[in-house]
Structure 1
Amino acid sequence: MFNKMLSSIGIGSAKVDAQLDNTQCIAGETVKGVVKIVGGKTEQQIDQIYLSVNTKYIKERDDKKYSVDVIIDKFKITDSLLVKPEEQIEFPFSFVLPEDTPLTAGRTKVWLSTGLDIKNAIDPGDKDSIEVKPSPEVAAVLEAVHTLGFSLREVETKEAPRRIRGRLPFIQEFEYVPRSGPYKGVLDEIELLFTPTGNGQVEVIMQIDKRARGLSGLFAEALGQDESYVRFEVSKTNAPEIQQTIRNIIDQYS
């Protein structure tokens, strides 16, 4: 009885550990691994084992910023089972990493949480960081922007405006500034937002922020009229020519 009481507050209870085959992945790919459970000091009934993909994003209220944890998706590994004292059990798992998982760039972190639902007890858990790499389509855009002389200044995962909010409450913005090339001194910055649309295609929203020129330019900048928003799609078909596409768009709006 005493051991059961201790297990209910997390002392001597079952332990869980998720081990991934690969900690680097691309959104839309299959993540594989195994969940290992080691029984505690007493027999425990586990209602279910689950995995969740998590990240943080920034919210702003009353001019104050704070970070919020959010579950991107959750996957059930197994139903109810009984774990005997010090028993060792393994469950292989696989799931598709959601396509709208943000990249682990800048201060954006993504991690996998493993949990055991145990009635009347503190659920033991495990956290494992994963590195989310860009898809070939997103990588083509980022490489094109870099080749045109832009340098990455900031990546921010923040609360999404309702007009562009999708399944998740946040967006991830990539902010670039022209350090060299044809747009140095012409643009202040460009910002990129990537949204998967399925079938290997990605929609890109690009904000082009022109540098103020003369009094009219300063007036437009003060009113926020120096910013242009352009949408275009990237796929395996047009990815090789995406640098020229981006250059044509910037030339048109700058």
Structure 2
Amino acid sequence: MSFLDKMFASIGIGAAKVDTILANDRLVAGDEVNGRIVIQGGKIDQDVDDIYLKVMTSYEQEIDDKKVHKECVVGKFRLTERFTIKAKEKREVPFSFELPIDTPISYGKTRVWVETGLDIKNAIDPSDRDYIEVHPSPLMSKVFNAVTDLGFRLREVECEAAPFHARRRLPFVQEFEFVPTKGEFRGRLDELEIIFLETNRNYLELLIQVDRKARSIGGLLSEMLNLDETNLRLTITNDNAHNIKDMLYQVIKKYS
């Protein structure tokens, strides 16, 4: 093992490489993520302190009137104890972990990926990025279908930084912005925003923002002062899921 090989490996030339192979890249939050990590040794033996997998996404935060993109670790999973990957050795490490229940959905601008890394001292840590598609849960799908049936179209989906008092585990929320294109609420509302505050397989807590359309001088003044927005909470469970459309209709109608 020459000094040059060690030096080059420390800057990533001729060093170990990592590749993650997912069994399935289309998932629902709460699903098991399965696959294997393939580690290919480089020109020299290298001590690996750790193998980790991180579920990642990005969100926007407004700082000094500018929108800044930030990356966020949704979940991190450590896979192995310290080991040595020999020169030219090929090693496979199987893995399985639960996709965090609050992982955002892959709609609109939202991207979710699994990032794999090896911790190697005194060297650039090799890494790999694999994008996954996170689909809505059955309960979320029922909410989206009900909103569509009420005449709304999904216009935009964004992950945005949440104020401290509104945060849960993650520093952002995923906003689903709908606009009325037909039916009773067309012409009465500007938009409808929905945020899933708490989720699991059997329960959803929704934050709904009803943005009324200005229809008069007073309405325009309210719009300028953001007084035309009403924030509401609604709880959906498996027990009342059959009635989602009517529940949403009553809430939206009351405040539109």
TM-score range, shorter chain: over 0.9
2:51 alignment partner AA = I
- Give the alignment partner of residue 34 of structure 1, picking from 33, 36, 44: 36
Q: Is the 8 A contact 2:139 2:201 kept in 1?
A: no
Q: Is the 8 A contact 1:99 1:196 kept in 2?
A: no
Per-residue CA deviations over 1:1-20 (Å, capped at 9, x if unaligned) read 22111111101111111111
RMSD (Å), alpha carbons? 1.1
- Give the alignment partner of residue 207 of structure 1, picking from 206, 209, 222: 209
Instruction: State the partner residue of 1:121.
Output: 123
C-alpha distance in 1, partners of 2:145/2:14? 51
Consecutive unaligned residues in structure 1, runs of 5 or more = none
C-alpha distance in 1, partners of 2:89/2:198? 43
Per-residue CA deviations over 1:59-99 (Å, capped at 9, x if unaligned) read 11111111011111110011101111111111110111111
Instruction: State the partner residue of 2:9.
Output: 7
C-alpha distance in 2, partners of 1:119/1:146? 53
Consecutive unaligned residues in structure 2, runs of 5 or more = none
Q: Tell me by how many angstroms 1:229 deviates.
A: 1.0
Q: Tell me by how many angstroms 1:199 deviates.
A: 5.6
2:33 alignment partner AA = V
Per-residue CA deviations over 1:115-142 (Å, capped at 9, x if unaligned) read 0000100000000000110011111111
Aligned ranges 1:91-240 → 2 under 5 Å: 91-198=93-200, 200-240=202-242
- Give the alignment partner of residue 62 of structure 1, picking from 61, 64, 67: 64
2:222 alignment partner AA = A
C-alpha distance in 2, partners of 1:72/1:118? 23
C-alpha distance in 2, partners of 1:200/1:163? 25
C-alpha distance in 1, partners of 2:15/2:117? 13
Normalising by structure 2, what TM-score? 0.96
Q: Is the counterpart of residue 78 in structure 1 residue 80 in structure 2?
A: yes
Normalising by structure 1, what TM-score? 0.97
SS at match of 1:103: coil
C-alpha distance in 1, partners of 2:158/2:238? 26
Matched-pair identity in %: 48
C-alpha distance in 2, partners of 1:69/1:169? 10
